[in-house]
């Protein structure tokens, strides 16, 4: 195996097969990365308010904060979150200062998503000794949503829960329940790990939100749609998730571009996302959302795209499926 010099990949890199071992996969994924963005540990990457229905069906404002911090120690095949992270941890106090800044202009919002492009419970990203100060800053929120890899959810999450004034919810990337594909994603987690995590969270009164990929790498359009639906079933029936958020797998991290050249990855069509959310809402059991970021990459039809995008936003906010019109240009007929 060649060493890690990136120039070695430029010659015949289309032929480099996806490795079998996790360590080699990590090297393969990292070598293909494009440049990361420059981030400042004194400022959050993004702060905005979105509207999302709560468990009672009431539409409420959610303050969403992307903290600038060190990158996640895992290297999942489809992940591009590292682009807005650093290679070193922030200085002591930087994360609480980012949170203070983020809260300044939104005094009345009661739910917060505090995302850090990795795991809140990763000590290299968010220092455990800062949890108490962070919890105090968040004391006015009735719900605090953080994200984490399943293997980092444990005693620290319990202590953080006890320090908060509101309900703790943890968002976890379930990705897919297609086990051979899950293994290839390099997340280094099994469905059994998810089940153990969910049982622990239920006992600890911590709510679970899941992220589910629509058409993972190595899946066809049809199998991607079917596995997204099975993943919704697993999230609800086996994990007791309160939310399943459907993420169309998109390129842009280098690794997926190479898999695409090898015929092993394509983003899903818009209709697969539409049919997966319709499936989830028809079966019921938890709130289902479709991620609409960069949705234009999923269809080439500019005639029906604006209507279909708006329809998905309506579905997200109402959790109901409005009728859809047949597109005279591309023939799509959303479910």
Distances (CA, A) of 59 to 103, 110, 317: 20, 12, 7
CB 173, min distance to ligand SF4, A: 5
Q: What is the rounded CA–CA span in Å between residue 311 and residue 323?
A: 9
Residue 47 contact among ligand SF4, Zn ion, none, beta carbon within 5 to 8 Å by kind: none
Say what the alpha-carbon torsion angle 301, 304, 310, 316 is, to the nearest 10 degrees: -70
Residue 270 contact among Zn ion, ligand SF4, none, beta carbon within 5 to 8 Å by kind: none
The residue within the footprint of Zn ion, chosen from 241, 304, 312, 315 (CB under 5 A), is: 304
Residue whose CB is less far from ligand SF4, 27 or 110: 27
- Please count the other Cβ atoms lying within 10 Å of the Cβ belonging to residue 253: 21
Residue 215 contact among ligand SF4, Zn ion, none, beta carbon within 5 to 8 Å by kind: none
Residue 330 contact among ligand SF4, Zn ion, none, beta carbon within 5 to 8 Å by kind: Zn ion
Part of the chain binding Zn ion (CB under 5 A), chosen from 8-16, 30-38, 72-80, 322-330: 322-330
Residue 109 contact among Zn ion, ligand SF4, none, beta carbon within 5 to 8 Å by kind: none
Residue whose CB is less far from Zn ion, 199 or 329: 329
Residue whose CB is less far from Zn ion, 9 or 327: 327
Measured between its terminal Cα atoms, the distance across the chain in Å is 48
Part of the chain binding Zn ion (CB under 5 A), chosen from 43-51, 64-72, 159-167, 327-335: 327-335
Provide the binding-site residues for ligand SF4, judged by CB under 6 A: 72, 74-76, 79, 81, 117-118, 149, 173, 187
324 contacts Zn ion (rule: CB under 5 A): no
According to DSSP H, which parts of 104-173 are helical?
A: 131-137, 155-163
Strand arrangement of the beta sheet that strand 143-147 belongs to: 46-53, 59-66, 111-115, 143-147, 167-175, 207-214, 243-248, 287-290
Tokens found for residue 148 = 């984490």
Reduce the DSSP state of residue 92 to 3 states and report it.
coil
The residue within the footprint of Zn ion, chosen from 92, 301, 314, 326 (CB under 5 A), is: 301
CB 300, min distance to Zn ion, A: 9
Reduce the DSSP state of residue 170 to 3 states and report it.
strand
329 contacts Zn ion (rule: CB under 5 A): yes
Part of the chain binding Zn ion (CB under 5 A), chosen from 61-69, 85-93, 178-186, 323-331: 323-331
Residue 76 contact among ligand SF4, Zn ion, none, beta carbon within 5 to 8 Å by kind: ligand SF4
Please list, in sequence order, all residues whose beta carbon lies within 8 angstroms of the beta carbon of residue 175, skipping any fewer than 6 positions away: 76, 78, 182, 185, 187, 211, 212, 213, 216, 231
Residue 125 burial class via C-beta count within 10 angstroms: exposed 0-12, middle 13-18, buried 19 and up? buried
Provide the binding-site residues for Zn ion, judged by CB under 5 A: 301, 303-304, 327, 329-330, 332
């Amino acid at each position: 195996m060649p060493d890690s010099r990136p120039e070695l990949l430029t010659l015949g890199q289309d032929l480099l097969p996806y490795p079998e071992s996790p360590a080699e996969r990590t090297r393969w994924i990292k070598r293909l990365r494009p440049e990361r963005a420059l981030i400042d540990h004194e400022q959050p990457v993004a702060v905005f308010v979105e509207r999302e229905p709560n468990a009672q069906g009431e539409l409420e404002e959610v303050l969403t904060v992307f903290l600038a911090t060190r990158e996640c120690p895992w290297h999942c095949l489809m992940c591009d979150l590292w682009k807005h992270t650093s290679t070193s941890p922030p200085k002591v106090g930087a994360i609480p200062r980012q949170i203070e800044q983020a809260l300044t202009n939104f005094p009345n919002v009661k739910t917060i998503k505090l995302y850090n492009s990795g795991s809140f419970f990763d000590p290299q990203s968010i220092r455990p000794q800062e949890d108490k100060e962070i919890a105090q800053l968040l004391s006015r929120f009735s719900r605090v949503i953080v994200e984490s890899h399943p293997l980092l959810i444990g005693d620290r999450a319990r202590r953080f829960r006890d320090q908060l004034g509101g309900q703790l919810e943890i968002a976890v990337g379930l990705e897919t329940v297609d086990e051979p594909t899950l293994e290839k994603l390099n997340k280094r987690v099994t469905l059994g790990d998810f089940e153990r995590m969910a049982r622990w969270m239920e006992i600890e009164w911590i709510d679970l939100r899941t992220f589910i990929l629509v058409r993972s790498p190595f899946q066809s359009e049809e199998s991607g749609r079917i596995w997204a639906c099975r993943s919704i079933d697993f999230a609800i029936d086996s994990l007791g998730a309160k939310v399943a958020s459907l993420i169309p797998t998109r390129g842009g991290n280098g690794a997926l571009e190479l898999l695409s050249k090898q015929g092993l990855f394509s983003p899903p069509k818009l209709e697969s996302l539409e049919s997966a959310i319709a499936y989830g809402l028809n079966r019921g059991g938890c709130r289902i959302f479709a991620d609409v970021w960069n949705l234009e990459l999923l269809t080439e039809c500019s005639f029906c795209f604006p209507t279909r995008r708006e329809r998905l936003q309506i579905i997200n906010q109402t959790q109901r499926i409005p009728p859809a019109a047949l597109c005279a240009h591309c023939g799509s007929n959303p479910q």
